[in-house]
Structure formats: structure tokens, C-alpha cells
């Protein structure tokens, strides 16, 4: 049985596999998850160009070092130079990582930050702190969400 083999053999077998088989093997149990090293950023960037990743709309995030579905990224992270095979694909990060505070600093998406997800403008609201649908006023995205910007329209109807 596979799991009764010595760890050296597991590592040897894993090193022979490419993406996505190695990633799948790593996910089969806790032991293999610990034994087999996670993919490095450069490996993830190569993996995102495989047929497997293209067919599933997966992209690499530089901070959580995972392949994630395109829905987890702001639209700008998937376009042009940060798109697949783009020159700056290595600088792409997911929304979740963007919202996390940096080590000893602010989040990449700080208060008032605007993120477009699947064509919809969101804002990290300066009032309630949530990532909410933004209010767009004459083409400009406000730094507070629709809910929190409601008072601006009192009496205008
Ligand atoms: Zn991430
Ligand atoms: Zn708000």
C-alpha cells in the first residue's frame, strides 16, 4: 500500500509528479501534506499556465501562495500585465490578501480602496469598514459604501 512506503520514496514519487498531480497528492492526507513541500511562487506562476489551471480559471496569488479562482481577484489583477502570462503576473494578489494588514503596516487595500470585482465597483468603506458595493457619482467612485453614503441624498428626491 502506498502509505506504508518509507517517506523517502514518497518524496521521490512526489518530485516526479508535475502540476496538478503533485498538488492533488499533497491534499490526500495530513501526512503527505506535511511531507510534500507546497509550490513556490515561481512554480505557481508556471502552474497557472497549464491547461488544468486555464480550464478552471485559476490564478496565482503572491501572498497566500495558492492558485485561486478568478472570482477571488479584483478585475485589475487579471488584466494586462498582471494577467495570465503577463509581465507582472508575479505581482498579482487576491482580494483576501489585499485586505489583510501587512506585517507591521496597513493593508494593501486600505480604507477607501476601490476594487472592481466582475465588473462591479466595490469600496472598502471609510465609514463601516466593509468591502461593499460602491456608490458611483458622476463616474467617480465614492470612498463610502452605498449604505453609508445614503445621507448625501437626503432630500434630493
Ligand atoms: Zn492571496
Ligand atoms: Zn459603509
Residue-wise pLDDT tens digits, 100-127: 988 888 888 989 999 999 998 899 999 9
pLDDT reading at 98 higher than 90: yes
120 shares a domain with 156:
yes
Answer with the residue of higher pLDDT: 150 or 42.
42
Q: Domain of 145?
A: 111-157
The structural domain count of the chain equals 3
Contacts of 39 (CB under 8 A, 6+ apart): 19, 22, 23, 47, 65
66 shares a domain with 29:
no
Quick check: helix, strand or coil at residue 4?
Answer: helix
Q: Is residue 96 part of a domain?
A: yes
pLDDT reading at 152 higher than 60: no
Query: How far does residue 5's CA lie from ligand 1's centre (Å)?
Result: 34
Ligand nearest to the CA of 151: 2
Query: How far does residue 114's CA lie from ligand 2's centre (Å)?
Result: 13
Q: Is residue 85 part of a domain?
A: yes
Q: What is the pLDDT of residue 139?
A: 77
Instruction: Work out whether the CA dihedral 118, 45, 36, 55 comes out positive or negative.
Output: positive
134 shares a domain with 118:
yes
Query: How far does residue 58's CA lie from ligand 1's centre (Å)?
Result: 12
129 shares a domain with 105:
no
Ligand nearest to the CA of 127: 2
Query: How far does residue 9's CA lie from ligand 1's centre (Å)?
Result: 32
Cis omega (within 30 of 0) on the bond before 20? yes
CA-CA-CA-CA torsion for 68, 85, 114, 70, nearest 10 degrees?
-30
Amino acid at each position: 500500500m502506498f502509505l506504508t512506503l518509507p517517506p523517502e520514496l514518497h518524496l521521490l514519487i512526489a518530485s516526479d509528479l508535475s502540476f496538478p498531480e503533485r498538488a492533488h497528492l499533497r491534499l490526500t492526507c495530513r501526512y503527505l501534506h506535511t511531507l510534500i513541500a507546497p509550490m513556490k511562487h515561481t512554480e505557481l506562476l508556471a502552474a497557472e499556465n497549464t491547461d488544468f489551471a486555464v480550464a478552471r480559471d485559476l490564478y496565482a496569488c503572491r501572498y497566500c501562495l495558492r492558485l485561486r479562482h478568478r472570482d477571488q481577484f479584483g478585475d485589475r489583477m487579471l488584466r494586462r500585465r498582471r494577467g495570465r502570462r503577463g509581465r507582472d503576473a508575479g505581482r498579482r494578489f487576491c482580494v483576501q490578501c489585499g485586505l489583510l494588514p501587512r506585517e507591521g503596516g496597513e493593508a494593501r487595500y486600505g480604507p477607501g480602496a476601490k476594487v472592481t470585482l466582475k465588473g462591479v465597483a466595490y469600496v472598502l468603506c471609510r465609514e463601516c469598514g466593509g468591502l461593499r458595493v460602491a456608490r458611483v457619482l458622476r463616474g467617480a467612485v465614492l470612498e463610502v459604501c452605498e449604505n453609508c453614503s445614503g445621507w448625501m441624498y437626503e432630500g434630493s428626491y
